[in-house]
Structures are given as structure tokens and as C-alpha cells.
A and B are shown apart, each in its own frame.
Chain A
């Protein structure tokens, strides 16, 4: 099994290496439309952003110097870093046990955890942030309970301060951190732990000397992705944070939207982008990021990556020490991990569930527990022309973006899997960048481009931006499925007299159709949930559903929002269920 994996990896690599005799196949042409699309709508805008920051056409470094000289901006950077580091650290502590239980637990526990991780992951950031507003607010659920219990005499301030931001952001990035860790952990052969036990390691020592070091690539990837996401996070800090905690994303937004200082806003964006790129570059020295996103044939954690693990020797000493204490230490692990992971799963799901619960309230205010059940919030949504118009706008934009992203992403996936091009790594980096780069920076850059071609404030322009953001998801999903598509089937069809087109129509298309459907749904979901692009590209003219929620949250905490958030989450859940079902049918 392991050998087979290795040989696949070697085959995959040699076909890409410069020494390979294989030339690009005809499939490589499929890369063309998608790459041009991403070049024009992603690379060009970012270059434009750089030029703006440099004051084009009057070249100057003044904008960058101003950032360095103004202590206010240094404070912004410091606070952004403080928040990002705290959130990443807290999220790591909470995510590792969940990922561990997800990878090693029994089937029931795994199903529960998977739901608890995946459902929040795909429900909108806005809905989850809204949930925390309801929970943490002065008259929120938590304060209400504390007062009820008599533990406090007056409400504690948990919202619109550092505490609220950290809690909300941690909750939102946890799935992002758990998934790469889980990917690596589920690749760890459970037999290795048995082998450690057979060689005299207690459960704790086996964990410390075998499981933990082997899970490090996933830990690094998860921590890195989460940290980058925190640095570029806009929605949650903007909604949950206090006035004193201005982060870089808020500074960018205020420069561009409020002050109309494009050059300076661009300079701030460039700084954020460079920081992210440097972190990514350092990270890629330790592990290949594309592997964790499912775009590499190589097994995660294999080969040279493993040898770079510096902490292994140290862990070995700790493990050996822990082993000596085995007889005196109570047996932790086992049930303890299960209970902890279960508890964390509840915490992950709870905000989402509470919003759903409150959406059925009969009160026109948020009261916990609800005084009675009614559908008044849902009626409020369906009878309000503004909400409905926003929904239709979202659907129109979403459908356009989905169409473009699915077609272009699908072609890119085929080209990447079968094109055998040189410089595949560059191509992969280009394709994945839109989801790794801070959304706000890409949105700002796209905005400037749209202004130049007059597409700002149009639904088509917004859909173009959303398509760029959705393409990586489509590619990842389709590539993963293409890897399962055995080329022997196609050879068999050819040998039976089918021409290439007929082969594609009768063999390839039916086999990967489920993947395309799932990819299209996820593309739609990313567009349907987005606020950041709308904030910039919509220039106040387009009101999508999330945009209307955003306005609603900023103005008054309208209970209708709870109903909308609930419906969004139900929609996300349906997409996940559909994806799982289509995936299972294939097996």
C-alpha cells in the first residue's frame, strides 16, 4: 500500500520534472481560458494595486513612508498581530483535540464532529458573526444567563472589545485549522501507534513520540492558513471589535471607502499582501501547501518533509520520560479525548443552533429563552420587498459566478491533472492564490480594475470577482475526483472503438458529473455568502442578501436577520448533504 503510494508519487513527480521526456498533452490547452481569466482579473489588479501604491504616474515611496512614520499605523499593525496571534494560539489549542478525535475516533463520534466542523465551515461568516453578537451582547444570551444565575450583578462587556473579537474569530477559523490537521492525521497509520505500544510505549508516550511528530505538517499548515486568514479578516473584527482595536483591514477599508485615499489604501494593502506572502514562503520551506489543499499526488507528510522535523528528538526525550511515569499517571486519553472533543463540537455548533432557535421567536426583540414560537421573522423576510430583492440579486450574481467558475475551474482541473505541463507549481499557486490571499486586498484591487472598465456597481462585475474567488474551490474538488478516475477506463473505451469525444461523453463526463455538481454548489455558496467583494465592487448600488444583513447588523439588530441566517445555514447544510450523497453514490 505504502509502496504503491510512493510509486504513484514518483511517477507524478517524474512526469513534471524537467528531465521527463513527456511533453505537455493536449489537455494542457484547457489551462488557457482559466489562466487568462485569472491573469486579467487577479494578477493584473494586484499589479495595478502595487502601481497605485507607488503613486503612479508620479512614482513615489511616500505612501509607504507615511505608514512607517505614522505611529497610528504601527499601532494598527501591532494590534492586528496581537489579535491574530492570540486567535491562532487559542484556535490551535481547541482544534488539535477535535482533529485528533476526528481522525482516530469511532464512527459515531466522527460523524458528530464532522458535522460540527463542516457545517460552520460552509455557513456564512456573517451568520456566525451575527450569532456571536446575539450571544455576547449586553442583553445577549450569555449575560442573560449569568444574571439569571446571579453570578454577576450587571452585564459584562463582552462585545465590541478585544474579548469579543478573539472569541468570534477563533470560532470562525477553527474549522479552517481543523481540516488540514485532520487531513494529515487521518493519513497516519494507526498501526504505528500499535507498534509503539508493542515496543513498550505507554499511550501518552506513543502519542508524543509517534502521533504528534507525524501530525506536525498538518499543524503547521493549519496554523499558517489560520494566521493568514486572521491577518486579512475583515467582517468579524469590524462587527465585533471595539473602536480602539482598529485592524489593518479596517484601515484599508476606511482609506478607500471613506477617505477615498486610493494610493494610501493601496500601500496598506500591499503591506498586508507582502506580509502574507512572506509567511507563505517561510511556510512552504517546511511543507508544500498545495498537498494539503489536495492538489498534489504526493502523500502528505512523506519524503523529505518528514525529515525536517526538528522537534522529533526533543519529543522523543519527553515521550521517554512520560513513559517512566506511566504507572503513576492516571490513564488520560481514550475517553477523556472523546469527552473533550464532544464538548468542543458542541461549542462549535452552539452559536449556529442558538441563532436558529432565536429565529423562531415570537418576540420582536431577541429574548432568551424565547417567550414563544412563531414564524414572524420568516414572514418578515418573505413579506419584505427589500429582503426579497436582495435575495434575487444574490441569486443572479451567484448563478453568473457559478457558471463562469465551474466552466473555467473544471477546465483548469483537467489541465492541471492531465496536462503534464512544466511549471505546474506556478500554475497551482496561481489557481489557489485567490483563496489564500486576503480577500479584502483582492477585492480592493478588483475594484480599481472595474472602475477603469466601468463595471463597478454592476452585477456582472461583481460576478467576475466572485468567480475568481470560487475557481480555487472548483479546481480542488474536481482535481480530487479526477485522481480517482482511472485512465484505464478511458483506454478501455478507446480500445472498444470510442473516439476521444465519445470517450469523454460516455466515460469521463458521467463519472465526474457528481464532482461538477458539488463544485458548482460550493461555487454558488461562496458567492452567496460574500460581503467583502460586494462592499467594494457594489459601490452601494448592489444590495445582495449578505450585504443587506451587513447593513442590518450595523444599523439595528433586526430579528429578521436571524431568520435569514438560519435559512442560509440550512442551505449550506443541504449543499453538504448533497455533496456527501453524490460522493457516496460514486463509491
Chain B
């Protein structure tokens, strides 16, 4: 089989500010002074004409904690709104929402190293072998140390190849499967009664909720044999220690938060949380998507996960910042796009995000961004969000956080690590924090930070969970995990050990079972759209491909619609043949790839090559009502053979 030798569109670094005098004109080069003045003027005009809530900040899950701290502070202090969010909304916001609801804190509970010392690993909706390769090395260590691994995924992925058992469920039936596992554990008497009584609430209601989900009903709905479900239930419940890990297969659904709750329920049922090597672990998809939320670049939390609705938290920040914080949640990214549609949002400051290509139903996203009065884009590239759709008014060239600035990022195991500048940025590109401060200055706030450490120390003074993490300690220990309130004591590697305390005062609030019901994918398959399309990542590529398109990967083969051999035969199509792929929202043409890891009726695509095949024209913007994440993982599509077979070589 010949691989296509394709060089994807490469992006060139932005080296100077760009402005345009009207939307009909092309960009022209501008001085920093002019560009910053225009950016600030637009924000000021918006605030004066429409109030602070007509502004929104898209902060960057790729940039440092320090930048995210300054970006959310800009939003709350300079603009006076809580409308700040980032692309965490498109991936793991349900994990944060689900974990917060159960445990009061939105991070994974365990550390990578613990996976090496556990007895059972469940990888649910996660192809970590491709998407998180170095985390998976820890899993492999665990397997070599004797742990058993179960993979729950519609596709038999390269992660599943390492599993003792692969549960190939139908897309969007995670809750029935989880409930059936829960019911089986209860009926077999394997639930951890002492833990349930001591540390949880709502068990009786949960038992009642899962009661209808017999193994045979679950087999019918999920497509997983009853014996395999029973086996997983017994293995998970009887393991001394167990890790439950998930990725976007759980969260990128219209009911993503419910999915997360359904998985957390299993850990509460068995007591597999709050102990060394027992825990629940969402694997985050971007270098600092954890940190962005931790820094308060989300509409409902101040830095350090402190709730905006809590008056005491607000007062602390109001004193420190000399401002008043609106006592209500701001808009999520999803709300923002809807508010653009309804004309409630007029100005957006978009830092390092590419929503024109990363949002579900991308055509709609572009239309909405184009309707803004004022769009400022700050990025290292002229992405599609800034350029192709011709939407931005001002483009500000930034530095690459990971290689050209100093600061910190926070990974999936809550480890805050130092990022250091190794390269001199190109042209006139400036650090994000500098740029934001310059805009703030033009809006009447005389902000100046000596360096990233000064920002970090301000954050430390306001976030108890980060207080113990000085730059020196972060260097000394190669990163520290939050919560780290103490300057001497090293933090625990896992969260919520309190749940095991016998003293109720130390134990703190009990973890509630999530009473969530099955709700199938919104985009139903039928005669017209008979194939279920799910999306994911490949090993060598990343998101919209702006970063990963830049190097010569021998593994890269461009975008394909991947089908199982049976479906390929049914449609009479061969590898490389272009077909028309349609959903209820859009049509793309893509070549066929045949993958035996798929099952009849299931197709797979990525979003790595949007300039080649814009997969997100097919996906549905059906959002989780709690977290706002779209259902990227389940669209209904139709495959049509083109009249004259155009086989790409």
C-alpha cells in the first residue's frame, strides 16, 4: 500500500503586527503602537456601547500558567466581566465539571508513577498509545509489573492491542456500560460497603438507577457481550488497586459530564479513589489545558479553583486587584459562540486559539466570528481564525510559549513544571504577557510585571493550592503537584485521601454518586445517514495541524475516511479512492482508508488536516449542557462512491 507523500500547509511565524482599516481590505503591516491602540480602542468602544459582558477572552491552553493568569485578570479587572474561557471547552471541560461535582476539585486524582504500581488499569475511551504515548509507557510498565489492562473503545485501537480484554462498545453507550458494570458489582456483593457508607452519598438512589441495566440489556444496547461486561465488573471490583483513565471518548459527547459522572460512580462504588495507585485519571489533551483552568481562565472559577459565587473568595481577589468582580459566572466558549449569533457579544480577544477550525460545525463558527465588531487575534501564526475567514481586525505576533518564554505549565497529573525560553523570538514578536499588559495600559491600568516569576508569585499569594511552589522548588523537584500549600512539605501524589479518614471532620464533604441516565447521541443514524463517524488523533499529528504540519513525519499520510473492510466492500471502494462523505451539516470529499480495527457501521476521521479535508464540517455542535463540550465523537454520515473513481496515488 503506497502512502501518500503529502506536505501539509505549513504556517510561517508572524513577525510584525497586522491591522486592517476595514473588513474589505487586506491586512497591512502596522507598528506595535498603532496595533495596540487599535486593539484597545475596539475593546473600549465595545465596553462603552454594550457593557462589559459584550467582551470575551479566548485564553490559550497552550500558553503558560502566567499568561493565563494575566489574561483572566485582564478580563476581570480591565474589562469587568467573567467571560473568559479556552479550548478546554472542546475537550476536557466535562472531566473538570464531573470531578468537581464529585470531589470538589477538577483534577485527575492520581500520578503517572502510580499506574506502574497498580493492579488493574481501565482505559475508557482513550487511545493513549497514540494520543498520550509517554503516559502509556507508564501503563506498559504497570502491565509488565503484573497489572491487567482493560480497554473500552468503539475501535480496537493500538491501546486495546495491549489489553487483556477489549470492550468494543457502540459509540455513545458509555453510560449503559458503566451502569451495567455498577449493577453487576452490586449484585455480586463486591461493592465496598464501608467506603460507600463512610465517604459517599446517594448510594441507594444509584443502586435503583442502575437496577434496570442487566448484563443482557447492556449487551443489546452497547454491543458488548454480557460475559465481557461481567468480567470487567469483577476484575475492577476485586482488584486491590485500580486506575480508571479516560480521554475524549468520554468527554466529547453531548452528555460528556454525565459520562464522566458514570465512570466516577464506579470508583466510588469500589473505593478505587483516594489511595495510592487507586484513582480516576482524565488524560488532558494539551500542554496546559489543566493549568489554564487552574489559573482561572474559565468563566466560573477564580485562580486556584476558587468559586466566583463564593463571596469570601471574591473579596480576597477584589482586595488584591482593587476591583469588583461580577458575582455571576461568565460565558463558556460555547455560550460565546451562541452569543455572537444573537448579537450579544461584540468584541473578542483571541489568544493562541484557532476556533475557526477547531469548533464543531466549523462553517457556523466562521460565520459567527465574522459577525463580531472587533476581533483581536494574538498568535504565533496567521491561523485560519485570523486570516482565511478574514475576520480579525488586529493581529498581534506572539512568542511560542514552550520555547520562547519563561513560565510554568501544568500537566495531566497536576504537576506544575518550568517552561524556559531557549530561542530568540522572530521579528517583532512579543511575549503574551507583555502584549496584554500593553493593552491594559491603554485602557487605563498601569500593569507591568518584571518577569514571569513576578506573575507567578502574585498567583501564589492568591491560590493556596499553589503557594508552596516557588520557582526554585519547581526546578529542584522537576515540578510539583498541586495541592501544594506548604513551602517545606512535599505534596501527596494522589488526591482525596481524606475520604478514607475515620474522623468525619477530617473526611470533609462526602462524594455524591452521580445520578445520570443514558442519552444516545443526538445525531441519529438512519437510512440516509447509516454510518457512525467518530473522530480522534493520530500518533504523529496534532489537533488542527498548525504545529504538527511543520515537520517531516514519515508516518503522515494525510486525511482519510477510515472504514472497516466489510463496509469498504459493501460500498465497492478501495484504499485511496475518493468518496463523498456527507452529514446533516456538510459534505467533504476524502480518500478511503481501510482499518480492520473498525467495525461495520463505524467510520473514523481526524481533524489534523483541515486545509485538506475539513472534518469539522461534518461534526455536530450538540453540546453538553453542563460543560459545553460538543459531540465530536458521534456524527451520522453517508458514504457515496463518486461517479468516476478518482484514485489518488
Q: Please indicate whether A and B come from the same complex rather than being unrelated chains.
A: no
